[in-house]
């Protein structure tokens, strides 16, 4: 194993660390299915961008961490089939032992392997690809290259969306955004950074997305009613940052 895996608990929250202070995932022990960290909630804003009861049916997650995103989708989207690619077997073991990762091979396929290689050789199509892969030094490596983003684009369905967790305060952030924009022919957008400093990027290559901010708020209320996930504050920050020109999100 290239790094140590540490499990810590404080104030009712269990967190995953790779031998450093960087939090790689967290779970509130009393609410194991909820999304504890701000950035994980923001990544789920991708669910607001397609108005279809069939979205998403096939999801690819690169990086398992504490399994927060995996568990949320597993619980609230029972028709979705999930594939998770995690390079470190110890992370999968920790997620099962400490973070209540379900074992359900019919709906949840856990692949031990390199995310960039998996994407490069996959022949599947996915409605949603969630990229959240960092090493112990908070580096993404091959998961933050034009080649990788182009390979993800090739896997997306007509309604497919790629969602990437980026560190908004890092020196490489602007270059990361430019790589995503280049790979998707400028069809990418970043939401304003959340309190943790993470910035979530969204990109698509399929059907154009034109959604009025009011419609996004309605979708957020529907999502909150069905899952308890509240993204209204995210939309308020988008509005204040003028992400939606003329009140319309275009992607």
What's this model's pTM, rounded to 2 decimal places? 0.95
pLDDT for 164: 97
Q: Compute CA distances 98 → 67, 92, 102, 217, 225, whole Å.
A: 10, 10, 11, 35, 28
* Interval 221-235 mean pLDDT: 95
pLDDT for 1: 44
Q: Are 202 and 217 in contact (CB under 8 A)?
A: no
Length of the chain: 251
Q: Strand pairing partners for 189?
A: 202
CA atoms of 233 and 42, how far apart (whole Å): 10
Q: What is the pLDDT of residues 10-60, one digit of tens each?
A: 999 999 998 888 889 999 999 999 999 999 999 999 999 998 788 999 999
Q: Does the pLDDT at position 2 exceed 70?
A: no
Kindly list the structural domains of the chain, giving each domain's residue range(s) and its CATH number in brackets, ordered by start: 38-210 (3.40.50.150)
């Amino acid at each position: 194993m290239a790094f140590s895996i540490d499990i810590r608990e404080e104030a009712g929250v269990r967190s995953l660390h790779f031998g450093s202070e960087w939090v790689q995932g967290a779970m509130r022990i009393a609410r194991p299915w909820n999304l504890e960290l701000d950035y994980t909630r923001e990544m789920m804003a991708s669910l607001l961008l397609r108005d279809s009861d069939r979205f998403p049916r096939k999801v690819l997650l690169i990086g398992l961490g504490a399994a927060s995103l995996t568990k949320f989708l597993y619980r609230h989207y029972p028709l979705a089939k999930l594939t998770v690619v995690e390079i470190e077997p110890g992370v999968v073991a920790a997620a099962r032992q400490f973070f209540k990762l379900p074992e359900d091979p019919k709906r949840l396929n856990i692949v031990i392997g390199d995310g960039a290689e998996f994407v490069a050789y996959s022949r599947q199509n996915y409605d949603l690809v969630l990229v959240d892969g960092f090493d112990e030094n908070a580096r993404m490596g091959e998961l933050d290259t034009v080649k990788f983003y182009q390979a993800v684009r090739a896997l997306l369905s007509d309604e497919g969306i790629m969602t990437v967790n980026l560190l908004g305060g890092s020196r490489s952030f602007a270059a990361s955004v430019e790589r995503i924009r280049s790979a998707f022919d400028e069809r990418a957008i970043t939401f304003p950074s959340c309190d943790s400093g993470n910035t979530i990027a969204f990109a698509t290559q399929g059907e154009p997305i034109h959604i009025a901010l009011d419609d996004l708020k309605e979708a957020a209320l529907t999502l909150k009613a069905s899952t308890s996930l509240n993204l209204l504050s995210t939309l308020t920050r988008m509005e204040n940052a003028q992400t939606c020109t003329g009140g319309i999100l275009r992607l």
